[in-house]
């Protein structure tokens, strides 16, 4: 697969160094040094993943992420020099799939990118299993990476899709936040369990965009002190 990464950071040396390492691993790289360049580069290139710095001149990383999410479900990994949970949670709230705090190990970044690639490329799914029922009249579509309802389609990001797919294929089972981090983000993920909470909130909000669902928490349920689940469907 010809995989293209958009690297956005106002530190030119950082971008060029990261780009060189990514190219050695076989990726195509598009470079941008501020928010406006990032949006223009995304519009003018086929991009499979975005590495986006939080602190950018002009249009900051939060706003760039928000604007990209208005038009695309492309995976976004937020980069930040501030080890501040508030910034990380805000980044996830506006649509980032993951985040890394600078300085980071390139091998860790590479592992996360490859995890996203596997999800984008798809696993060994049977053709007959491309849809999973979520609720009455609502399905999760593997090919479209979206929630499908009557005359309605709601796109999901890579991590939103992976999270809901895991819960849907294991109905009735409660997954702890730590288990979900392990299964969806990977065993070597060092982020906070709050990452799961933010993605669940985003999923519930998107579920409510479907006319047949009034409350997303009715679908993705919380078991206080235990974790999250999708209950068995009632026929």
- 117-139 mean pLDDT: 68
Quick check: 96 and 69 in contact, CB under 8 A? no
11-41 per-position pLDDT tens digit: 999 999 999 999 999 999 999 999 999 999 9
* Residue ranges of E strands in the chain: 4-8, 28-32, 49-53, 76-80, 98-101, 131-135, 138-141, 146-149, 152-155, 221-223, 227-229
Domain boundary among 103, 121, 139: 121
Q: Are 54 and 113 members of one domain?
A: yes
The confidence score (pLDDT) of residue 47 equals 94
**pLDDT at 164 exceeding the cut of 90:** yes
Q: In this predicted model, what pLDDT tens digit does every residue of 76-93 receive, in sequence order?
A: 999 887 766 667 777 788
Q: Which of 121, 145, 180 is the last residue of a domain?
A: 121
Are residue 78 and residue 139 in the same domain, yes or no?
Answer: no
Residue 8 and residue 111 in one domain:
yes
φ/ψ of residue 181, rounded to 5: -60, -45
Number of domains in the chain: 2
pLDDT given for residue 126 in this prediction:
44
Predicted pLDDT at 173: 93
Q: What is the predicted pLDDT for the residue at 148?
A: 92
Q: CB-based burial of residue 223 (10 Å sphere; 0-12 exposed, 13-18 middle, 19+ buried)?
A: exposed
Same domain for 103 and 196, yes or no, is no
Residue 149: CB atoms within 10 Å: 20
Angstrom CA distances, 76 to 3, 42, 43, 117, 219, stand at: 14, 12, 15, 12, 26
96 and 166 part of one domain = no
**131 and 115 both lie in a single domain:** no
pLDDT for 120 equals: 65
Strand ranges of the sheet holding 49-53, from the earlier edge strand across to the other edge:
28-32, 4-8, 49-53, 76-80, 98-101
Q: Cβ of 72: how many Cβ atoms within 10 Å? A: 15
Number of Cβ within 10 Å of residue 233's Cβ equals 12
Instruction: Give the tens place of pLDDT for each residue, 37-46.
Output: 999 999 999 9
Please state, in angstroms and rounded to a whole number, the distance separating the CA atoms of residues 134 and 160. Answer: 14
- 152-155 sheet: strands from edge to edge: 131-135, 138-141, 146-149, 152-155
Please report which helix (H) or strand (E) contains residue 112, including its range.
helix 106-121
Average pLDDT score over residue span 141-151: 87
pTM recorded for the entire structure: 0.74
What six digits make up the tokens of 87? Answer: 């910034």
- Classify 163 as helix, strand or coil: helix
Model pLDDT for residues 205-224, shown as the tens digit of each residue: 999 999 888 888 889 999 99
| Domain end marker among 95, 121, 147 | 121
Supply the range of the domain harboring residue 110. Answer: 4-121
Q: Does the pLDDT value for residue 142 go beyond 50?
A: yes
**How crowded is residue 71: how many other Cβ atoms within 10 Å of its Cβ?**
11
In the predicted model, what is the mean pLDDT of residues 147-154?
88
Residue 208 belongs to a domain with what CATH number?
1.10.10.10
Provide the 10 A C-beta neighbour count for residue 216.
Answer: 18
pLDDT in tens, 173-206: 999 998 998 888 874 555 567 889 999 999 999 9
The verdict on residue 25 lying in a domain is: yes
Per-residue confidence (pLDDT) for residue 83, from 0 to 100: 65
Residues 24-60 as b or e (16 or more Cβ within 10 Å = b): eeebbbbbbbbbebbbebbeeeebbbbbbbbebeebb
Structure tokens at 135: 């609720």
């Amino acid at each position: 697969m010809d995989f293209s990464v958009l690297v956005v950071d106002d530190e030119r040396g950082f971008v060029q160094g990261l780009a060189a390492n990514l190219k050695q691993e076989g990726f195509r790289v598009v470079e941008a040094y501020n928010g406006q360049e990032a949006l223009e580069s995304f519009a003018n290139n086929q991009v499979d993943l975005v590495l986006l710095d939080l602190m950018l001149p002009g249009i900051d990383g939060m706003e760039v992420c928000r604007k990209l999410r208005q038009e695309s479900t492309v995976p976004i990994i937020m980069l930040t020099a501030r080890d501040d949970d508030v910034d990380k949670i805000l980044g996830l709230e506006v649509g980032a799939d993951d985040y890394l705090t600078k300085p980071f190990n390139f091998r860790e970044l590479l592992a996360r990118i490859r995890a996203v690639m596997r999800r984008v490329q798809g696993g060994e799914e049977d053709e007959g299993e491309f849809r999973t029922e979520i609720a009455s009249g609502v399905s999760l579509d593997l090919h479209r990476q979206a929630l499908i309802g009557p005359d309605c389609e709601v796109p999901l990001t890579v991590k939103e899709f992976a999270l809901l797919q895991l819960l849907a294929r294991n109905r009735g089972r409660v997954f702890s936040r730590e288990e979900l981090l392990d299964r969806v983000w990977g065993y070597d993920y060092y982020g906070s369990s709050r990452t799961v909470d933010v993605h669940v909130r985003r999923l519930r909000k998107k579920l409510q965009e479907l006319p047949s669902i009034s409350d997303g928490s009715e679908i993705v349920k919380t078991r206080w002190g235990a974790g999250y689940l999708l209950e068995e469907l009632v026929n």
